[in-house]
């Protein structure tokens, strides 16, 4: 009479162990496959121009699928834990991952469809995806406009990325140093527009070579001016290289006025004439602008700075589309 309860207890314990074993197997397999999916997603997100919420949504879906997988594994009867169980587990995981990928694909297609249906002039000229805007600036402290950005070792490109973040564009940030040589990588991004700090190369060079900056009451030294001339030559060479290789790229060159005279419109017009005479391909494609606030208070975070740069980006991308459509 006592043998039956003991046998029943043993059977219950055995079933519990089998359930735990199955759940552990499901969890392990799901984790491995999910990790692979996340790695692939991370690689393809930028090249495919997928939305910023792509990774967040994918992680949420995979997490939800993980809980569902564990729940289904718990409901499987222990008596089914035979030699066929591994294939059953694999089938279960495959179905769940297919559901996750299908749901994500639907979300991406929905986002793209909504973007294409908007009457925005900021869609790319080819009609595929959104225009790429490359933001180029230095991490050198003297070239960073805002103290908060300097404290976190950021660049003005980080600020511009936030200011332009809600436009129908893809922003790509490029950090410039004195030895920067990634022209080909910028070209590969097929940018519609490049926003670049006029003094970015100079500030990077001055930091590395410890060039002395003049005070408010001093005139720039010969050494200072010579280094600025070298850095600006590199800037113009970069603009010319991209313009020669990609006839659809336009440029915004901004500065608070480190090189002197930049706030004066005639000075900028004369600077532009020299640039266009050196590279004929740049004619009509470069817009030199001062940062609102000048040397002392210039910032893209200010209300005026935000208004100016947002309006200019929209205008230049719109005029680019109109020119190509003719």
Model pLDDT for residues 250-259, shown as the tens digit of each residue? 999 999 988 7
Query: Taking each helix axis from N to C terminus, what angle separates 85-117 and 3-45, rounded to the nearest 10 degrees?
Result: 30
Q: What per-residue confidence (pLDDT) applies to 59?
A: 82
pLDDT attached to residue 65: 75
Closest CA to 251 of 274, 228, 221, 276: 276
The DSSP secondary structure of 200-222, one letter per residue, reads HHHHHHHHHHTPPPP-TTSPPPH
Residues 53/110, Cβ–Cβ less than 8 Å: no
Q: Is residue 119's pLDDT more than 60?
A: no
Helices (H), 192-283: 200-209, 222-245, 265-278
**Of the listed ranges 105-119, 163-177, 202-216, the one predicted with least confidence:** 105-119
Query: pLDDT tens digit string along 134-151?
Result: 999 999 999 999 999 999
Check: CB of residue 139 under 8 Å from CB of residue 197.
no
The first and second tokens of residue 174, run together, are 């490029």
Q: Name the phi and psi angles at 196, rounded to 5.
A: -135, 140
C-alpha–C-alpha distance, residues 215 and 218, integer Å:
5
Tell me the pLDDT tens digit for each residue of 290-311.
Answer: 999 988 889 999 999 999 999 9
pLDDT of residue 122: 43
Q: pLDDT at position 206, please?
A: 95
Give the predicted TM-score (pTM) of the model: 0.61
Contact in structure between 45 and 66 (CB atoms under 8 Å): no
Average pLDDT, the chain: 80
Q: Is the pLDDT of residue 91 over 80?
A: no
Cα-based angle 278, 281, 282 (whole degrees, multiple of 5): 70
Quick one: which H or E segment has residue 251?
Answer: strand 250-255
Predicted pLDDT of residue 232: 95
pLDDT tops 70 at residue 4? no
Domains in the chain, start-ordered, CATH in brackets? Answer: 3-117 (no CATH), 132-325 (3.40.50.2300)
Mean pLDDT, residues 79-103 taken together:
55
> Which among 45, 47, 192 is positioned nearest to 132, based on CA atoms?
192
171-197 average pLDDT score:
95
Task: Please give the average per-residue pLDDT across 40-49, as a whole number.
Answer: 66
Of the candidates 140, 127, 198, 138, the residue with the CA atom closest to the CA atom of residue 168: 127
Contact criterion met (CB below 8 Å) for 78 and 20: no
């Amino acid at each position: 009479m006592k043998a039956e309860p003991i046998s029943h207890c043993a059977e219950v314990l055995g079933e519990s162990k089998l359930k735990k074993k199955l759940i552990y197997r499901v969890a392990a397999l799901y984790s491995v496959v999910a990790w692979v999916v996340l790695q692939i997603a991370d690689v393809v997100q930028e090249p495919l121009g997928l939305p910023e919420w792509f990774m967040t949504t994918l992680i949420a879906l995979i997490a939800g699928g993980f809980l569902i997988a564990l729940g289904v594994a718990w409901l499987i009867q222990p008596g089914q834990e035979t030699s066929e169980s591994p294939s059953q587990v694999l089938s279960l995981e495959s179905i769940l991952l297919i559901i996750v990928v299908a749901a994500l694909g639907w979300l991406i297609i929905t986002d793209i469809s909504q973007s294409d249906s908007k009457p925005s002039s900021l869609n790319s000229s080819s009609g595929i995806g959104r225009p790429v805007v490359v933001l180029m600036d230095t991490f050198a402290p003297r070239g960073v406009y805002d103290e908060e950005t300097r404290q976190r070792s950021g660049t003005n490109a980080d600020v511009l990325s936030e200011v332009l973040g809600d436009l129908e564009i893809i922003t790509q940030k490029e950090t410039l140093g004195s030895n920067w040589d990634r022209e080909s990588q910028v070209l590969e991004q097929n940018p519609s527009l490049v926003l670049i700090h006029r003094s970015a190369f100079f500030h990077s060079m001055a930091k590395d070579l410890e060039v002395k900056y003049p005070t408010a009451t001093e005139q720039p030294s010969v050494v200072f001016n010579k280094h600025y001339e070298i850095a600006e030559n590199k800037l113009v060479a970069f603009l010319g290289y991209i313009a020669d290789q990609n006839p659809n790229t336009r440029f915004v060159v901004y500065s608070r006025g480190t090189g002197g005279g930049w706030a004066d419109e005639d000075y900028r017009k004369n600077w532009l004439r020299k640039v266009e005479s050196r590279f004929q391909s740049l004619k009509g494609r470069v817009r030199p602008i001062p940062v609102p606030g000048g040397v002392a208070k210039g910032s893209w975070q200010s209300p005026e700075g935000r208004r100016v740069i947002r309006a200019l980006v929209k205008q230049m991308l719109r005029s680019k589309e109109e020119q190509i459509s003719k």
